[in-house]
Amino acid sequence: MTAEIFIARHGQNEDNVNGILNGHRDLPLTKVGREQAKQLGEGIKDMDLHFDAIYTSPLSRAKETAEIVSDVAGLPQPAVYDRLIERDFGIMTGQPIAKIEELCAPDTIKTDTITYFLSPEGAETFPDLIQRGKEILDYIGERHTSGKVLLVCHGDIGKMIYCAATGKDWHQVLTDFHFGNGDLIDISGQGEAHKIKMPQFNH
């Protein structure tokens, strides 16, 4: 037996709002991003979801999101787990999102919301991330044999953790669903991505 695992993506950060590819860049959450994190915490609390542990990427946008969620929902304080860090974007780190096709085509996958670059110089590939996802799941499985665990991470590594959990093809997963800021997904035993619908709050 292993714990039921959920993944959440951090709230909006400064690179997100400015259309910059962040990867390992470490800019903070925006005001909107902190509000998204607060709403994620309120949604978790409203649905009476209790997490026995929270693990977060070391990057500040994920770490702050995890801390806000923990405080709002009354959950355990998050532990930093370095393997949850976002994909290394290599030479695309810090580039404008608008230049992905110019710099990486035809080695891209385009969806309605995101254009993914596949293997620019110095970047982790999606198969690399799946392997890291398997290591993450093994790490969590060794430490948690029951209950629920929340992993607060990022878009690309989050989707590949989902691939590692389900065995689905990564090309398909990239186009199947959008993993947006503040989204929560239950990846345990799901044939399809089970995105949790958050209650809407007005502030």
Using alpha carbons, list the distances in angstroms from residue 111 to 7, 28, 35, 137, 162: 21, 27, 27, 27, 18
Residue 200 counted as domain residue: no
pTM, 2 dp: 0.95
State the residue range of the domain holding 105: 4-195
- Mean pLDDT of each 10-residue bin along the chain, 203 residues long: 92 98 98 97 94 98 98 98 98 98 96 96 98 97 96 98 95 94 85 62 45
Domain count across the chain = 1
| Angle, CA 27 vertex, CA 197 and CA 150 arms, to 5° | 35
Q: What is the rounded CA–CA span in Å between residue 153 and residue 111?
A: 21
Using alpha carbons, list the distances in angstroms from residue 154 to 22, 47, 74, 90: 10, 23, 23, 16
Q: What is the pLDDT of residue 203?
A: 40
Residue 97 counted as domain residue: yes
Catalytic residue among 10, 42, 124, 154, which? 10
Residue 202 counted as domain residue: no
Q: What is the pLDDT of residue 200?
A: 56
Residue 203 counted as domain residue: no
Using alpha carbons, list the distances in angstroms from residue 102 to 17, 81, 106, 107, 117: 21, 34, 9, 11, 11
Question: Active-site residue 203, yes or no?
Answer: no
Catalytic residue among 64, 67, 86, 124, which? 86
Question: Active-site residue 142, yes or no?
Answer: no
Q: Are 149 and 161 in contact (CB under 8 A)?
A: no
Residue 102 counted as domain residue: yes
Q: What is the pLDDT of residue 192?
A: 53
Q: What is the pLDDT of residue 196?
A: 78
**What CATH number did the domain enclosing 33 receive?**
3.40.50.1240
Q: What is the pLDDT of residue 202?
A: 47
Residue 201 counted as domain residue: no
Total residue count of the chain as it appears in this document: 203
H or E element that contains 7 = strand 4-9
* SS3 call for 148: strand
